[in-house]
Copies of this chain bind each other. A is one copy, B any other.
Amino acid sequence: MELGPPGGAGPAEPGPRLRGLRGDDRAASAAWLSEASAGRRAPSVAAVLPAGGSGERMGVPTPKQFCPVLERPLISYTLQALERVCWIKDIVVAVTGENMEVMKGIVQRYQHKRISLVEAGVTRHRSIFNGLKALAEDQPNSKLCRPEVVIIHDAVRPFVEEDVLLKVAIAAKEHGCSDYDLEFGTECLQLALKYCHTKAKLVEGSPDLWKVTYKRDLYAAESIIKERISQQICILMDAKEDEEHVGRCLEEMLKKELNHVKVTSGALCHAGRDLQQIILEQCYNFVCVNVMTSDFEETRKLLNALEESNLSILYPVVVISVHFLDYKLVPFGQKMEHLMQIKEFAKEVKKRNILLCGLLIYYPQDEQKLQESLRQGATIIATLIKERSFGLVGQLMVA
């Protein structure tokens, strides 16, 4: 999945990509979106998330929607997916009374917006009903707008994309029903038919709509999320000649190592402006090249900028501080001792969900040997980004 431009308020997040809409669908969505963005009378849409289940099939006491993936509860990813759809005005989540405080904590910690909480019912249908009631009420003090269309979406389907939501919302508006079940209608469609004599329209979804049910699904979700946030790497270096040379070589090696990954590079001397831009593009992986500067100066600039940016609220950010060793000038052991400071920095920034490692690359005079060192360095960088592991922070790798 490619990362697109961000949407919506809140911390930077991977944006959606409208895919695969053709013909009438495409025309309808274009019309819908242009009305919405122009602030004209576009149909108002809300979402209701039943999240009161106990997740018995998971085999663990924690309900699956609260199971952590990369240390963040699964439901937070689903909220994020819906939040970035700018035309969904309200997101109502139904949780059990005992999980209400936990849910409030999640909304606050991950800075979710446009979220309202209601109490879940004894069954999924009752939870949905409670959510709909909250949206239907025209209370003066209610923050919720009464919508024309409501999308019902499971809290444990985190990979929903905007194009499917759009198709469903458009179909709902056209066919006059007030809600659709995105699960291909096992429950709600039958009820709609039986009790309302309404033949609901079935919209084809994508494989991304799969549901987290078993423990293996949490594993799959984690792998998919990790893969998504590993799609862009930013190499930062000072704009001096030596640094640019090794920086560019390292960039080439990384591109070969991870040929589907977008590698960008920039200078830290314009730190403020460039970093802001990079952070807006939702890059979660930084390689900070320190050649000539006194050690850690560039890395520390980067870490400060990251801490101010809130980038690491939703996902752990990997920072690799790269240093070079010309052992003819500085003995290896001495360099290693000096670089061990990285443990202290790492311990500090770990609290802010930033995973810092060091990488020492041999810088021999021989160009071919340098290329080999850089190649090994690229392999190590790729591995650290892919694993995104809390257990190896502060370690100093050697290529």
Question: Residues on A close to B: CB < 8 A?
Answer: 57, 207, 210, 214, 216-217, 219-224, 331-334, 336-337, 340, 343, 379-380, 382-384, 386-387, 389-392, 395-398
Contact = CB atoms under 8 A, between A and B. Distances in A.
A380 B389 CA distance: 10
Nearest to A390: B383
15 contacts: A210-B216, A216-B220, A220-B220, A223-B223, A331-B333, A333-B333, A333-B334, A336-B336, A336-B337, A343-B398, A380-B395, A383-B391, A383-B392, A387-B389, A395-B397
Contact of A397 (B222, B224, B337, B392): B392
Given A217-B220, A220-B219, A379 B391 contact: yes
A297 to B, nearest CB: 22
- Number of copies of this kind of chain in the complex: 2
Contact of A219 (B223, B334, B379, B386): B223
Given A217-B220, A219-B219, 11 more contacts: A57-B207, A207-B214, A222-B223, A333-B336, A333-B337, A380-B392, A383-B390, A383-B391, A384-B391, A395-B395, A395-B398
B333 A398 contact: no
A396 B397 CA distance: 7
Nearest to A381: B391
- Of all A-B residue pairs in the complex, the 7 with the closest CB atoms, nearest first, are A333-B333, A383-B391, A219-B223, A216-B220, A220-B220, A219-B220, A333-B337
B382 A391 contact: yes
